[in-house]
């Protein structure tokens, strides 16, 4: 790993690293916040998955999570949202497909299959690297926003025992039934909708082998709520399958990082309890 930058923050340290990803076959950048406790012993990690158009920088600069993470003794790892600079035709043509829009799936369609394997990257490769090279433990939680909320939900639902807890802000809950998800899945996975279902949280709930409680925050003034996000579909699936979900609807909040910053401490506390930090 190549250290790109380091900043002191709440007596901890924010770092950016570059490394060669074997899974994605390209150079990748990720960020990590190490709380002050990491100087004495390995600390548990919250993996944060960001939304469309984001890099590792959006959450770290806008969410205001470091203060509470420092108090709790929790590291935060924030990967990028897609491969970058792999020069695939059309990868920079739109905000919701290609660069900045990996959708946390393993692409099977060409030319995307060689590089766009973000599911394997965030679930397996990046945690293995972080746990081998940094003062963190193998105690993990996962959270995210929008496309990243979708990523967090499927990562937890598809990998029983891997995470201690999961939460999401305004996640894409039913991607097979919304324009963002349909565009991404068709492009990355082809037209076999059985394959699409493997990356849809609402469709994964009935067969989930682990029942981690889901904490989801959603703003009522979110401009994408009705067309893209469908939290009611996930809630209905959870009710039918008796899978615990806490869906909190917040009046007047939109899809922005102002919304995330307003409630991030509560999510960190949720994960801290599961990680044994509270």
Candidates 21, 50, 141, 146; catalytic one: 146
**Is 146 assigned a catalytic role?**
yes
Instruction: Determine whether 152 is exposed, middle or buried from the number of CB atoms within 10 Å of its CB (0-12, 13-18, 19+).
Output: buried
**Phi and psi for 175 in degrees, rounded to 5?**
-65, -25
**Is 222 assigned a catalytic role?**
yes
Candidates 255, 267, 270, 271; catalytic one: 255
User: Distances in Å between the alpha carbon of 103 and those of 10, 100, 120, 121, 252?
Assistant: 32, 9, 12, 12, 27
Candidates 56, 200, 217, 222; catalytic one: 222
User: Distances in Å between the alpha carbon of 66 and those of 114, 184, 268?
Assistant: 35, 32, 10
Other C-beta atoms lying within 10 Å of the C-beta of residue 188: 25
11 vs 9: CA distance, rounded Å: 5
- Where in the sequence numbering do the catalytic residues fall? 146, 222, 255
């Amino acid at each position: 790993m190549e250290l790109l930058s380091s900043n002191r923050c709440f007596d901890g340290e924010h770092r950016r690293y570059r490394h060669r990803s074997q899974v994605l076959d390209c150079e990748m950048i990720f960020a990590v916040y190490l709380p002050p406790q990491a100087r004495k012993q390995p600390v548990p990690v919250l993996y944060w998955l960001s939304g469309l158009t984001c890099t590792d920088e959006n959450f770290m600069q806008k969410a205001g999570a470091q203060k509470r993470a420092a108090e709790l003794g929790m590291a935060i790892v924030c990967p990028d949202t897609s491969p970058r600079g792999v020069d695939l035709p059309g990868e920079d043509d739109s905000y919701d497909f290609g660069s900045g829009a990996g959708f946390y799936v393993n692409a099977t369609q060409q030319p995307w299959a060689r590089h766009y394997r973000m599911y394997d990257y965030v679930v397996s490769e990046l945690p293995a690297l972080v746990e081998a090279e940094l003062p963190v433990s193998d105690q993990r939680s996962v959270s995210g926003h929008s496309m990243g909320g979708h990523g967090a939900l499927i990562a937890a639902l598809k990998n029983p025992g891997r995470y201690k807890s999961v939460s999401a802000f305004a996640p894409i809950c039913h991607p097979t039934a919304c324009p963002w998800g349909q565009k991404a899945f068709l492009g990355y996975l082809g037209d076999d909708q059985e394959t699409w279902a493997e990356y849809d949280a609402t469709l994964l709930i009935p067969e989930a082998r682990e029942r981690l409680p889901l904490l989801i925050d959603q703003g009522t003034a979110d401009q994408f709520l009705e067309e893209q996000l469908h939290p009611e579909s996930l809630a209905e699936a959870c009710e039918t399958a008796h899978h615990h979900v806490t869906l909190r609807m917040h009046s007047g909040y939109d899809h922005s990082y102002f919304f995330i910053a307003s409630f991030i401490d509560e999510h960190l506390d949720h994960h801290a309890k599961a990680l044994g930090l509270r």
